[in-house]
Amino acid sequence: MEIIAQYGTILLVLAVIFGLYMTWGIGANDVANAMGTSVGSGAITVKQAIVIAAIFEFTGAFIAGGNVTSTIRKGIVDPSSIANQPEILVFGMLAALLAAGVWLMIASTRGWPVSTTHSIVGALVGFTVAGIGFDAVHWGKIGQIAASWIVSPALGGFLAYMLMMSIRKTILDTERPFESARRWGPAYVFLVGFIISLVTLFKGLKHLNLELTVPMSFLSALVFGAICAAVGWALIQKVEVDPEADRDYHFASVEKIFVPMMIFTACAMAFAHGSNDVANGIGPLAAVASIIRSGGEMAQTSELPLWILVMGGVGIVVGLATMGYRVMQTIGTRITQLTPSRGFCATLAAAATVVLASRTGLPVSTTHIAVGAVIGVGMARGVGAIDLRVIGGIVVSWVITLPAGGILAALFFFMLKGMFT
């Protein structure tokens, strides 16, 4: 208890710095992956992607980031056996943040496809086992999270496959694809708004004191979807046939209709990413802040303070503005195989999957889900060439990241403990 009283401010400042570093890293690296399918398909420019990401990453973190944050904050570590030593949990959370941050830095300079989410979860487990004990880990929750890492890319792939098939049936494989695209385009835009808002608003948002019944949730999602569809319709009306381009590629004009439609999926994706990944940075920070503010109380019943969510959003946007745009540029030039229609399917599928995970409070990897969605489009025979070696790389990175994050976290934990006691 004395340690908290004595060093409380320093520890909180450290937590804020580490938390900002993590969210900055997320903004610098992961956001580019989240926006990659939109930029790569040529539907939006890098500049537009940054503006969209800045707004919707923040909105996603703020509106829907609470559930995953609470999982990271109190769903993985069971502190009941150290009730009279709250500083252990504070050191642990700091160590986890630092370990994940350091590991991500090592991994990204080596070019390994490491996920922020996996790093932080591995780090949390590592510090808990080393610092508290094996039984202090909520293994059931860890099992759920690990299962979601396999299920979520598969679900993203399945949704993308179904969407691709549906778009072929309703639009591409028709007598007049351009007219079909004009007719069905707003319906698909409606789907974007409807799915994202339904999953987000279902039964309301506690931290914003928004209570909604089930029918009310559906109604508001319908209204939101309809607004999106109306805006989408207006944008689609402006698209004109380009006979010159159609001679070379018959679907050139049809693809032009998907360009305004992709603005919606890009927003949805940024929102989804913000709602899930921001927790990796601010979850541990929230845990530290709550213990220090209560003077060592570990019940952690208090709600997530809004300033922390806001800080997470700001960290991501700064990371994006300082480094993320460069990563995005390189992605944009490399993913030329994704046409707007294929990008639309992949992005919507990934966004829906991530939002669903956020709602359930499961920390997932947006990048891996995006990979799954692209493979889903490939399964529908829609991508020229997918390099499956990436999947091997992802699996290896799972196997390495969890112990690496864990061992680093344990090291940092003992270092911090030694420094402050």
Partner 1 sequence: MSSGNTLSRLFGKSPFLPLQTHMRVVLECAREIQPLIEALARGDEERVIKAKDHIFEREAEADRIKNELRLQLPRSLFMPVDRRDLLEVLHMQDAIANTAQDVAGLLIERQMTIPDFMHDPLIALTSRCIDTCEHSASIIEELDELLAMGFRGREVDKVDAMLTELNSIEDETDELGIALARSLFKHESEMDPVSVMMWYRLIEWIGDLADYAEKVGDRLRLLIAK
Terminal CA-CA length for the chain: 11
CB-nearer residue toward partner 1: 2 or 248: 248
Q: Which residues contact 399 (CB under 8 A, 6 or more apart)?
A: none
Q: Are 284 and 19 in contact (CB under 8 A)?
A: yes
Query: Taking the complex as a whole, how short is the minimal distance between the CB of residue 417 and partner 1, in angstroms?
Result: 33
Distance separating alpha carbons of residues 123 and 93, to the nearest angstrom = 9
CB-nearer residue toward partner 1: 81 or 333: 333
CB-nearer residue toward partner 1: 7 or 258: 258
Query: Taking the complex as a whole, how short is the minimal distance between the CB of residue 393 and partner 1, in angstroms?
Result: 8
Distance separating alpha carbons of residues 308 and 61, to the nearest angstrom = 10
CB-nearer residue toward partner 1: 127 or 184: 184
Distance separating alpha carbons of residues 34 and 52, to the nearest angstrom = 12
DSSP string for residues in 156-174: HHHHHHHHHHHHIIIIITS
Distance separating alpha carbons of residues 130 and 126, to the nearest angstrom = 6
Other C-beta atoms within 10 Å of 51: how many?
A: 12
Task: Please list the residues that pair with 77 across neighbouring strands.
Answer: 137
Query: Taking the complex as a whole, how short is the minimal distance between the CB of residue 157 and partner 1, in angstroms?
Result: 12
Q: Are 34 and 269 in contact (CB under 8 A)?
A: yes
CA angle 311, 313, 110 (to 5 degrees): 105
Distance separating alpha carbons of residues 336 and 37, to the nearest angstrom = 10
Query: Taking the complex as a whole, how short is the minimal distance between the CB of residue 172 and partner 1, in angstroms?
Result: 6
CA angle 120, 123, 129 (to 5 degrees): 145
Query: Taking the complex as a whole, how short is the minimal distance between the CB of residue 321 and partner 1, in angstroms?
Result: 16
Task: Please list the residues that pair with 210 across neighbouring strands.
Answer: 205
Phi, psi of 383 (to 5 degrees): -125, 135
Distance separating alpha carbons of residues 267 and 273, to the nearest angstrom = 10
C-alpha closest to that of 104 among 305, 327, 288, 280: 280
CB-nearer residue toward partner 1: 204 or 393: 393
Query: Taking the complex as a whole, how short is the minimal distance between the CB of residue 252 and partner 1, in angstroms?
Result: 10
CB-nearer residue toward partner 1: 141 or 168: 168
CB-nearer residue toward partner 1: 197 or 280: 280
CB-nearer residue toward partner 1: 2 or 175: 175
CB-nearer residue toward partner 1: 33 or 220: 33
Query: Taking the complex as a whole, how short is the minimal distance between the CB of residue 81 and partner 1, in angstroms?
Result: 38
The contact set with partner 1 (CB under 8 A) reads 29, 32-33, 36-37, 40, 107-113, 164-165, 168, 172-174, 249-251, 323, 326-327, 330-331, 334-339, 341, 367-368, 370-371, 374-375, 378, 380-390, 393-394
